Amino acid sequence: MTYRVCHVTTVHKQNDNRIFYKECLSLASAGYDVTLLCAGADSTTQDGVTITGFPKAAGRLKRMLTTSLFKALGQARIINADLYHLHDPELMPLGLFLKFSGHTVVMDVHENNSAAILSRPYLKSEVTRRIVSWVVKWGEKLALRFFDGVVTARPDISALFLPLHPVTLRNFPVLPDLGSLEDLRIEKTKPAVIYVGGLSRIRGIPQLINAFALTDAAELWLLGPFQSESFEAECRALDGWRKVRYLGSVDASKVFSYIKAADVGIITFLPVPNHITTLATKPFEYMACGLPVIMSDFLYWREFFADSALYVDPADADAIAACVESLLSDSALCSRMRERNLYLIHNEYNWQREREKLLRLYSELLP
């Protein structure tokens, strides 16, 4: 018997790395009939996964409370899957409806949502943020008790739901075949330090750009979308922008080609509550391409990554510049980091190992 499973998101894009390239493709390759129900997506079939799109509501409140939620519910009922795998906290009401309608439901918690709320810029008031954070925290604890499975992206998130026996699927990369990656032949006169991911204030992008105004040792490559046009304009006005090569946004399948072309990977998130214990995807992608890494000096990151990286105060542009210069001036250290990072990626930090836990969960829920 071939089980039909449906992944649902009203927030993420249809080519989301975790949802599509890791989970959906892993399930499709294991023989499941997989549909990705995604707001704003183009309906198509890709790599054995049926992608079903529906209109995405404009604005968070409308998306969360009305339009997208009801459209997702309508499409989900048409698909009539054996298992629904939800990816956004706003889909908890949909999950409860599906569960009480007799379906098997799994919730995928990508981040510490209650902590993330505390740094959301669209909530202007500190009091509002704390109230919403409390509602999300207890809403998750209550709603997820009724679901059949909880999947998380990090051990610290799993710790929030221990009574529910969550499965931790860490965002380790699908290992690239480095030899088959497109050679981009990007001309550069200096070593390139690359940051890949969303470009926002809480991810320390202004401080990172400012750091490159203070050093001639390297240029900064930025790959990813800006949080807004106004923030992009603000970044382009910084003095360090003259040392920046903005690469725009590319499909997840092409990211490794850009990382491979760089010399150092960097991630200098600011110490907001949802960052200090996160296992962000990008350090592992840098490691998969054999890059030495510079990271924010968070205790959790220092303990987890150890000698795979150098650590720096993400709010201190001078310290970031000095760290870049120190690393690039020490070829022996760079070589040791490259060797260590490639070893760890191939032997532990890869999606091929994590996917077995996903397949085990599905086999238990759909025997």
More confident residue, 186 or 248: 248
Domain boundaries, the chain: 4-172+350-365, 178-347
Which spans in the chain are helix H? 25-29, 60-65, 67-79, 92-100, 113-117, 126-143, 155-158, 205-211, 229-236, 255-261, 281-288, 299-305, 317-328, 331-347, 351-365
If DSSP codes are grouped into helix, strand and coil, which group holds residue 363? helix
Query: Could you report the per-residue pLDDT of 263-287, keeping only the tens digit for each?
Result: 999 999 999 877 888 888 899 999 9
| CATH fold for the domain made of 4-172+350-365 | Rossmann fold (3.40.50)
**Which pLDDT tens digit goes with each residue over 24-45?**
999 999 999 999 999 989 999 9
Residue, of 273 and 310, whose pLDDT is higher? 310
Report yes or no: 356 and 304 within 8 Å, Cβ to Cβ: no
Q: What is the pLDDT of residues 186-213, one digit of tens each?
A: 888 899 999 999 999 999 999 999 999 9
- Do domains 4-172+350-365 and 178-347 share one topology? The answer is yes
What is the C-alpha to C-alpha distance for residues 310 and 307, in angstroms, rounded to an integer?
7
Per CATH, the number for 178-347 is 3.40.50.2000
